[in-house]
């Protein structure tokens, strides 16, 4: 995987970076790759469930991702 993702960047917006081509994470490509965003968000939520994260944390992130 070569994506860098945050559900809430400095401006409150989602951020997705193609780290293979932009290792300094300077170009937000979230609008260009909606499938990648959905995949990364799904993996994040899955990982949180697997490690037993508190439901309130998972729900908070889920709201941020919508």
Q: List, for residues 2-17, the tens digit of each pLDDT value.
A: 999 999 899 989 999 9
Rounded CA-CA distance 20/60 in Å is 30
- For 10-52, what is each residue's pLDDT tens digit? 998 999 999 999 999 999 999 999 999 999 999 999 999 999 9
Paired tokens of 45: 């939520």
Reported pTM: 0.84
**Longest Cα pair distance anywhere in the chain, in angstroms?**
35
């Amino acid at each position: 995987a070569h994506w860098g993702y945050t559900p809430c960047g400095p401006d409150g917006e989602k951020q997705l970076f193609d780290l293979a081509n932009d290792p300094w994470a300077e170009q937000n490509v979230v609008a260009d790759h909606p499938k990648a965003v959905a995949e990364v968000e799904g993996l994040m939520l899955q990982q949180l469930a697997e490690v037993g994260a508190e439901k309130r944390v998972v729900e908070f992130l889920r709201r941020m991702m919508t």
